[in-house]
């Protein structure tokens, strides 16, 4: 029987287990002002800071470099905390090696085929950085920019406003895009992300977060025993370049059926052609709810051993599930352990990959006078 999260947090605090870098204990209602420390310097001398936040029993550390979630700690069913987000303990590895660990992704999350699209009769060539494709905004996407960060405490919430302006033509995208992303820790320990953007010229936008999750704890090994449920009856099959073919295929009767919770490892090594091509799961699920005015629950991830759970709610129409297929043992996390294939996974709320080239997919076009807004909420339990 799972314990109530508040009971677990209260027990941890009473035992002195909730002390943090903020100099206090976790509270079920209200957090302290985020703490800013120097994390490192770029080659040109630019300072990169780390912000530490805590609220409702969740501890979050965020870098101004790429808006990266460097650490996210939550308790297990016994009140023991662990960082459940893969990453590094130094700036140099984030700059030189990272496969988007914990990063804010833009201008366009996921892939655009051959880095090309046409908008209002004009052809655009984007930065190509994944074979023939443009991936996550190109070679110098939002994950490789220093964001301006403004901390806040509002009522019982605590968080950060992150700002970045992408100039017209950056990575080939049209329009100057002014972006604001808000990370909020609520009094219940939820981590909420609110994305906003405006442009002075018609463009395409698809922002997301690229946290690599392992609910057993960073560096603890495989996620194949994690149980995953996704509220989607269709997904978008891909070609050899992992670009959607345009088909919205049914998941029923295939390894892609997560409509009921099941262990990730149950079907991951089957001979389904889509799994062979991607070396595992690296696909967009078409959420049954579609685009909604408010965030709705779309996925649940659970680690049976620790009891930790993650529930995701969003107003986006898609969810990219990536099972860490290309982790190859060459990267080392803060635990001192290497990350190997399947040691972490991503659940990226989004519009569909290659939407600018797929007229039947929901549009990702943003025009002057419009405001791009999406929200994703991560709720943790044990």
Q: How many CA atoms lie within 13 A of 327 on its CB side?
A: 29
DSSP 138-154: STT-GGGSBPEEEEEEE
Buried b or exposed e, range 179-190, using 16+ CB within 10 angstroms = bbbbbbbbbbbb
Q: Please indicate whether residue 348 is annotated as part of the active site.
A: yes
Q: How far is CA 349 from the centre of its chain?
A: 7
Cα–Cα distance between 274 and 46 in angstroms, integer? 43
Radius of gyration of the chain (CA): 20
Nearest 10 degrees: Cα torsion 206, 378, 63, 130:
-40
Strands 69-75 and 81-83: antiparallel
CA triple 258-261-264, angle to 5 deg? 70
Largest CA distance in the chain: 64
196 is catalytic: no
d(CA 184, CA 188): 11
Distance CA 309, CA 322 (A): 18
The active-site residue, picked from 27, 210, 226, 378, is: 210
Active-site residue list: 210, 348
């Amino acid at each position: 029987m799972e314990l109530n999260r508040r009971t677990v947090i209260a027990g941890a605090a009473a035992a002195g287990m909730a002390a943090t870098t903020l100099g206090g204990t976790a509270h079920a209602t209200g957090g302290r002002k985020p703490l800013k420390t120097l994390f490192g310097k770029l080659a040109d001398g630019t300072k990169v800071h780390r912000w530490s936040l805590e609220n409702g029993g969740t501890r979050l550390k965020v870098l101004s470099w790429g808006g990266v979630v460097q650490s996210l700690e939550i308790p297990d069913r016994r009140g023991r905390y662990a960082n459940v987000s893969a990453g590094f303990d130094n700036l140099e590895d984030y700059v030189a090696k990272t496969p988007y660990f914990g990063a804010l992704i833009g201008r366009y999350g996921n892939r655009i085929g051959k880095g090309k699209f046409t908008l209002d009769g004009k052809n655009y060539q984007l930065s190509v950085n994944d074979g023939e494709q443009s991936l996550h905004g190109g070679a110098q996407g939002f994950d490789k920019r220093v964001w301006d960060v403004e901390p806040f405490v509002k009522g019982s919430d605590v968080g950060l406003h992150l700002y970045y302006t992408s100039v017209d033509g950056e990575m080939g995208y049209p329009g100057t895009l002014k972006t604001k992303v808000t990370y909020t820790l609520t009094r219940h320990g939820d981590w909420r992300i609110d994305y906003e953007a405006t442009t002075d010229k018609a463009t395409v936008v698809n922002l997301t977060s690229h946290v690599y999750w392992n609910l057993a704890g960073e560096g603890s090994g495989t996620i194949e025993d994690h149980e995953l449920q996704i509220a989607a009856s269709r997904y978008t099959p891909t070609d050899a370049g992992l670009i959607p073919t345009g088909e919205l295929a049914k998941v029923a009767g295939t390894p892609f059926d997560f409509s009921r919770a099941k262990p990730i490892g149950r079907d991951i090594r089957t001979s389904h052609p889509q799994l062979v091509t991607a070396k595992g799961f690296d696909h967009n699920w078409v959420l049954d709810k579609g685009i909604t005015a408010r965030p709705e629950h779309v996925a649940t991830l659970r680690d049976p051993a620790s009891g930790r759970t993650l529930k995701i709610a969003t107003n986006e129409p898609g969810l990219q599930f990536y099972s860490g297929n290309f982790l190859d043992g060459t990267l080392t996390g803060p635990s001192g352990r290497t990350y190997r294939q399947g040691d972490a996974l991503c659940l990226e709320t989004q519009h569909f990959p290659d939407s600018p080239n797929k007229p039947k997919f929901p549009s990702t076009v943003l025009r002057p006078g419009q405001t791009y807004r999406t929200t994703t909420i991560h709720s943790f339990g044990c």
